[in-house]
Structure 1
Amino acid sequence: MRRAVWVTVAGCTGFYTLAYALDERVMALYAMFGALPLVLFAQLPGPARQRTPVFLVVLPVGCALVTAGTLLAVSDWAAACGMLVVGFAVSFLGIGAPRPAGPAAAFQLYYVLPCFPPYAPETLGDRLAGLTAGILLTTVADRLLWADPAPRPYRVRLADATAALAGYCGAVGRLLADGGPGPAVRELGEAADRALHATRLSQVPPTERPTAASLRDRALNHSRAAARHLRNQLDSLGRGPLGGCVPDPAAPRLLEAAAEALRQAARTLRAGTPEPGGDTLSGAVRAFDTARAEHHGGVTPERLRQGAVVRSAAEGALLACEAARIACGAQPGPRWRDPGGPFAYALAGPLRRWWRGLRLHLTLRSVLLQNALRLAVALACARLVAGVLDLPHGFWVLLGTLSLMRTSAADTRGALVPAFVGTALGGAVATLLLMLVGDVPVFYAVATPVVILVGFSVGPVLGPAWTQAAMTLTFMVLFAQIAPPEWQLPAVRLVDVLVGGSLGMAASLLAWPRGGHGQLRCVVRDFLSLAAEGVKAVTAQLSDGRDLTGARLKPLRREQDLAGSCYLQYRTETASRHAADPSWEAVMLPGRHVVVGGELMLTRRHEGAGEPLPVEAAAELSTLADRVAAECLRTADTLRTPPPPAPDAPPHPYPASASGPLRLACHPQAHGMTVDDALLITDIEAWLTGVAHDAERARRATVRAARHPG
């Protein structure tokens, strides 16, 4: 309703003033089209006061596009080439940023309208004046109308998840201390799972998703990744096979310190400003390491691994808390200022972050680049066809392509029938009005606000067919005031939508027809294959003790981002989804564990960097890393076609008692190692076996989904 009132007030005010008070019909038309796309098609986040600067930036860009469209209308080929460039640039340059990407559809329409005949460069001044009036009226109306219901900010969702994790962390600590109530731990774990599920980007409105290249959004995503790592470590302690040993007495204290740090991070995220206070969790981790070293003699492999998992959980909490502080405006602490560390992006400037985000998608494996290319080619072909066939009101062909084209052929096909039905319905009503009323501009002037207000408030509720009907009727009453009404106008609109929709369908069939679904399986497979390489590379770095930067993880981080954007598009597609698809979040978990766990291990080793590990220990860790890499590759193989094979062996439990690195770590002096070396080996072993468990679960989930679809 607000959008309908908004476009009625902004569009009709400019249209009536210019058309009737000043008798400037061209200005009036462009004033309406300056407002209508911005209100109906743009998705701009935040309240009105935050949208105002965006509208003021849209104004010069819109004027440049109208100028380009007016001048390139000199020939069909020039206009089509311009459409190719504009369509791609507008779609691709706003990648991953809600504010630049929000007005993308409006930008495309600002070029579309003037790039059709008649070629009239002498009207450029009137067109720009009308567009300026429309955009400014849109800005003013946005500030004067009532406010939209404020969506829940993503940082508040993340604050809820962080607070739920704090409760779960404290409960697991009590469970290790005195055996605590198991059902309470399970309930708190399920509550943490639900809160983390609410932070998935697919569960968040598009305007609130932290997908920009800004420091805030990068840090919010980083905090969620670390929180997810923490949740998995707590699951291992609270539900996993780590029981059967006497826990380290210092473990509950460390988990309680992690829980308190998480509560502070939740308050920081909820308030939006970092809380003052020292980093007590880092001190608690150091105290835990000291306690582990003092009580190292005579411990069992099970207890060694349990202590390593507790430490990894605390490190995950530390990472999540630091990312939350950075997201709320704080500078990285001294520990995190290493240019090769996990927060290297916080040390870079905004332009460099934006360029990195753009460069990430400069590959044909990116669904965002695929979408930009597909849409640009479809719009260019639609402009050329409309010009060659000399279709009257040919801009409706491009409007049909733009509004009906989806990211997959199946979804585009599903959008065509409602669009055709809605256009036919709107055309029938428009024809009836023309027959009953005829050329009476006053009637259409009175009907225009009613049609816009009712059509665009009721249409989105009733479905896409009604929206198309409202759009058809709106264009008819507008053009009836610009020129004498044409009886064939509704039929022309229907033909143009048929042509535009068919061109969009053809483009979807010829270029990446399976959309996000088709690409996701390949990208996730590559992600897991790179995770296998990352496991071996990081293990070698940790064993050697040199070159402890995160450079080896950079390809894996890029692949993780590509997989994330592909998964996000997959969630928006409905017709192209398959019942045999696994839970992709679970399948990507091993790779994410390699990224976050590897970051933490490299940071820890960098702080205490010294001599390389003994040759025997390095060999044991290398052998284990090879086994874990093989697990990741086996999981990646299950994503290939034809359908994945059945499991040919029981899952590898990786028991602590049979672990070669842990046997060495239990008796460090006997193998020429220090206690610190033994603890480092223990932590590396726990990270590797955790990745192996994740990979095995992901593989079985993929096979199960293929065998039992749905």
Structure 2
Amino acid sequence: MRRRPGGELRDRLRRRDPGYRLIRRAARLTVVASLTFYGCRYGLGSVTLATYALFATVATGSFAQLPGRAAVRARTLLAALPVAWALVAVGTVLAVNTAAAAAGMLVIGFAVAFAGVGGPRLVGLANALQLFYILACFPPYQPDTLPARLAGVTLGVALVALAEVTLWPDPAPVSFPQRLDAAAGGLADLLDALADVLVGRPGAAGAAARRHARAAQLLDQVRMSRLPVTARPTSAGRHDRAWRDAAAAAQEMLAVAESLASRPDVPGSGDPDLAGALRRCAAALRRSADRTVRRPGTPAAGGPEPATPPPSWRAAGPVRLRVDAAVRTLADQAGTYATAIGIATGPRGRRAARPVEAGADRFWYAGRSTWSLYRRQFRAHLTPRSVYLEGAVRLAVALSAARVIAGIVNLQHGFWVLLATLSLMRASASDTRTTLRPALVGTVAGGAAGGLLLLVSPERQAYAALLPLALVLAFGVGPLLGLGWAQALLTLLLIVVFAQLNPASWQLAGARVVDVAIGAVVGVLAGLLLWPRGSGAELCRNAGAYLAASGRAAERIAEAFAGTADARAAVTAARRAEALATASFVQYHGERHDPRLSHIDWDAVLAAAHRATYGGQALLADRRPGVLARWPGPAAALVAWAGRLRDGYAGLGRQVTRGRVDRPPAPTDPPGDVARQVHGMVRDGEDRPEVLALVEVDGWLGDLDAHLRRAGTAVPEEPPQPIRPPAVTNHSPVSQSDGPPTTR
């Protein structure tokens, strides 16, 4: 039975526009823009008021890409209104001459773009805020019109905020807490299955394998590179930092559970005590997951009881000691997860389910002021190796150069030059060049259609009638059809608008084509001259530096356990390196991939570095520094192994920096069977439970060795697909803070 054409069209529309978000946004934008423009231009007879009201509507309704529910987006727009006033005022004053306007563009362009470091809301507002200054900094120089300009901006932004919550509001997106809730549920199911494996229940191994695959799939959905820009918890505030720490703890639990399940000697090796500990971890995860999405009647998030060895540990063999160490690590990570959830869902201050332990405190930010957290995050990215800094400099230079050209050439509508640069510029030269051809073809087509329209019907009334249709086509149909169509329909919309603001002729269409061509060429040249490879080159450098720093941190952590070093400085350095590496990694997913880098498994590379830093830091937070000093022989052997791992991490880091991993890391030679050595000590009379920390550190270092080999040999079957921005807008660099990467 053949399907109706209408059904096929609806299916294609659902695929291109899930949830009809673009259609909803275009409908809201059409209603608000039509009301503001008609009311100001024809009702009040003010060209200035109409111009700024319309462009405030377009900037916040189309160029702004904000996270959260409709009410949250509306509050964000209203909160940004004072910033928009300031930018319009500064632009109005600096429009006195080209030099002042271009200098202001350089400073403001950088500041607004670099502000995206602070989180997804600032990223989503960046392009809209740029437009407020761009529009105001062009002639005519009329400071006396500032009140009308500010009134128009206020009207446009306020009506867009109102429309967000009253006119066809978008369905609430799947939030990061909801994704994390599902992942925690999958982990809890996996731990229950592992408990059955430990006691030797028939069929438990198959169930554990299936649940492991499901948990890994769910945790993959909370990786930053898999999330839309607006869904990433990347702000500097304590809540988003806690969400990231919760995700990191979940990834650590998956890594330990995977290591435990992969051992052939594990099935039937446990007893009811260990199985019960795993089930308590699973229950704690479910309680925390309920609090994550604030289900009614959910008690305060709490982890399992502190992981203490059962009395039977003194009679355990080597296999049982390894399993016991893994179970205690899982319990510790479940407590870390619960603590992070308590901070993320609670008010200011620490809401920990357990007291602060000795050693490195993962939740150092819980009691810090918001201002200090943001200052720290911005300072971390004030380096030439930050993709945020590079992107902000590239965009600011391009916009400032475009403003100089528009002023010197005295273009009729120089604003369009900067609009084209802002819309078409991408993070790499190859991506920007790719946008050039369809953008120019679309602009020429739209200009030809607009010029023909101006020749056939020059009356203003005709364009007033066409405005709603032009808005729907530009912001609803264009982005669905691609960049060329988007530019063509946007060109047609601008001609329809400007034909009502001032007397116009067919030359208006030609001016639009010339302006877009100049703006696009400026963007291409800026991309060629300023970091033309985009984030690919920085990803190599920063990921290599992160591997080296993580190897050093692992060695210092092992020395801290032995009581011979303080690991805090090394851990801090590794986290700084991580901030740059993960930002580059996430940015890389939004660009055209460099084929020379496609053979490197970047997920495995960052996971190896993450396991070294965060796995070791978690152990150090729950085990007193110097705990292994009582057994200097085994402790020294573990420190020596950590030193060899440091060399392996550094060697792999050098290869990654060159952009080619062609030599697998050499074996690191573990120091014998530590669990068997501990078993011998216990048999000889050692009865202090702290001796089990030797097995835990040994297990962690062995896992680092496995991660190092995987990062040095694995090749992804298929490179991840980039997340492309909408056709008309160009997002600022995707935001990633100094939190942990959620990679496996």
TM-score (norm 1): 0.92
Distance 1:503 1:679, change over 3 A: same
Distance 1:614 1:187 in 2: 40
Give the deviation of 1:310 after TM superposition: 2.4
Give the deviation of 1:522 after TM superposition: 1.4
Q: Which residue of 2 aligns with 1:266?
A: 289
The more displaced of 20-29 and 131-140 is: 131-140
| Match of residue 688, structure 1, among 701, 720, 723 | 701
Cα-to-partner distance string for 1:260-309 (whole Å, 9 max, x where unaligned): 111212222232689326846124x22xx14364335xx23x44333222
Q: Which residue of 2 aligns with 1:145?
A: 167
Q: Which residue of 2 aligns with 1:595?
A: 613
| Match of residue 556, structure 2, among 525, 532, 537 | 537
Distance 2:150 2:559 in 1: 62
- What is the RMSD computed on CA atoms of the aligned residues? 2.5
Q: Which residue of 2 aligns with 1:250?
A: 273
Distance 1:546 1:668, change over 3 A: farther
Alignment check: 8 A CA contact 2:358 2:623 kept: no
Identity of aligned residues (%): 36
Distance 1:631 1:575, change over 3 A: closer
For the residue of structure 1 that corresponds to 2:531, the secondary structure is coil
Give the deviation of 1:484 after TM superposition: 0.9
Q: Which residue of 2 aligns with 1:368?
A: 388
Cα-to-partner distance string for 1:593-646 (whole Å, 9 max, x where unaligned): 12221122112223x876833332331121111122223223323314374334
For the residue of structure 2 that corresponds to 1:335, the secondary structure is coil
The more displaced of 268-277 and 365-374 is: 268-277
| Match of residue 641, structure 1, among 651, 658, 680 | 658
Q: Which residue of 2 aligns with 1:187?
A: 210
Give the deviation of 1:493 after TM superposition: 0.9
- Asked if 1:157 corresponds to 2:179, the answer is yes
Q: Which residue of 2 aligns with 1:211?
A: 234
| Match of residue 584, structure 1, among 586, 602, 605 | 602
- Asked if 1:126 corresponds to 2:142, the answer is no
- Asked if 1:505 corresponds to 2:528, the answer is no
Give the deviation of 1:662 after TM superposition: 3.9
Partner amino acid, structure 1, of 2:330: A
> Could you list the runs of 5+ residues in structure 2 that have no partner in the other structure?
1-22, 720-744
Distance 1:577 1:128, change over 3 A: farther
For the residue of structure 2 that corresponds to 1:562, the secondary structure is helix
TM-score (norm 2): 0.88
For the residue of structure 1 that corresponds to 2:40, the secondary structure is helix
Give the deviation of 1:206 after TM superposition: 2.1
Distance 1:540 1:39 in 2: 55
Partner amino acid, structure 2, of 1:129: A
Distance 1:251 1:669, change over 3 A: closer
- Asked if 1:699 corresponds to 2:719, the answer is no
Cα-to-partner distance string for 1:3-45 (whole Å, 9 max, x where unaligned): 2222222222122112112211111111111111111100112
Distance 1:246 1:669, change over 3 A: closer
| Match of residue 554, structure 1, among 572, 580, 593 | 572
| Match of residue 389, structure 1, among 409, 415, 419 | 409
Cα-to-partner distance string for 1:666-694 (whole Å, 9 max, x where unaligned): 33369996533421211111111111111
Distance 2:260 2:136 in 1: 64
Cα-to-partner distance string for 1:137-174 (whole Å, 9 max, x where unaligned): 22233232021021111111111111011111111121
Cα-to-partner distance string for 1:532-579 (whole Å, 9 max, x where unaligned): 1001111111111885x7443111122222222211111111254557
Residues 157-556 of structure 1: matches in 2 within 5 Å? 157-178=179-200, 180-181=202-203, 182-240=205-263, 243=266, 246-247=269-270, 250-271=273-294, 275-276=298-299, 279=302, 281-283=304-306, 285-286=307-308, 289-291=309-311, 293-296=313-316, 299-300=317-318, 302-329=319-346, 331-336=351-356, 340-438=360-458, 440-544=459-563, 550-556=568-574
Partner amino acid, structure 2, of 1:480: A
Alignment check: 8 A CA contact 2:441 2:484 kept: yes
| Match of residue 678, structure 2, among 651, 665, 671 | 665
- Asked if 1:675 corresponds to 2:683, the answer is no
Alignment check: 8 A CA contact 2:314 2:687 kept: no
Distance 1:276 1:305 in 2: 33
For the residue of structure 2 that corresponds to 1:347, the secondary structure is coil
Distance 1:338 1:519, change over 3 A: same
Alignment check: 8 A CA contact 2:242 2:343 kept: yes
Distance 2:371 2:663 in 1: 48
Distance 1:667 1:249, change over 3 A: farther
Give the deviation of 1:83 after TM superposition: 0.1
Distance 1:91 1:123, change over 3 A: same
- Number of equivalent positions: 693
For the residue of structure 2 that corresponds to 1:574, the secondary structure is coil
Distance 1:93 1:278 in 2: 33
Distance 1:374 1:62 in 2: 22
Give the deviation of 1:353 after TM superposition: 1.5
The more displaced of 669-678 and 229-238 is: 669-678
Give the deviation of 1:86 after TM superposition: 0.7
Give the deviation of 1:126 after TM superposition: 2.1
Distance 1:391 1:662 in 2: 77
- Asked if 1:110 corresponds to 2:132, the answer is yes
Alignment check: 8 A CA contact 1:274 1:325 kept: no
Distance 1:54 1:703, change over 3 A: closer
Give the deviation of 1:403 after TM superposition: 0.4
Alignment check: 8 A CA contact 1:628 1:689 kept: no
| Match of residue 605, structure 1, among 580, 603, 623 | 623
Higher relative contact order (CA 8 A, sep 6+): 2
Alignment check: 8 A CA contact 2:359 2:622 kept: no
Q: Which residue of 1 aligns with 2:641?
A: 624
Q: Which residue of 2 aligns with 1:52?
A: 74
Distance 1:462 1:419, change over 3 A: same
Distance 1:47 1:702, change over 3 A: closer
Cα-to-partner distance string for 1:217-256 (whole Å, 9 max, x where unaligned): 1111111111111111111111245549944653222211
Distance 2:265 2:444 in 1: 65
Alignment check: 8 A CA contact 2:611 2:704 kept: yes
For the residue of structure 2 that corresponds to 1:572, the secondary structure is coil
Distance 2:237 2:61 in 1: 25
